[in-house]
Amino acid sequence: MTLDEFKVIGNPNGLTPLLQALWYDANQDWQSAHQIAQELHTQNASCFQRCNTLEIFLYNLVQFGL
């Protein structure tokens, strides 16, 4: 499956929680992605949380020209 195919999945409810978080992230819903990742207590979820936080930080840097 490509990233574009993954993004257009209509409903992520059939996916695992980590894949749901990645789906929301890929579809620009960082709040939902973060909420799901916060509820997971696995090494992969911890990595996702750190990467997602970094992504939001970098996005804000670009948006605000910092």
pLDDT in tens, 10-49: 889 989 887 888 888 888 888 888 788 777 766 665 566 6
Per-residue pLDDT at 53: 65
CB 50 within 8 A of CB 37: no
> Domain limits at 26?
17-64
Residue 6 resides in a domain: no
Amino acid at 52: N
Residue 9 resides in a domain: no
Crossing angle (nearest 10°) for helices 43-64 and 17-26: 10
Domains of the chain: total: 1
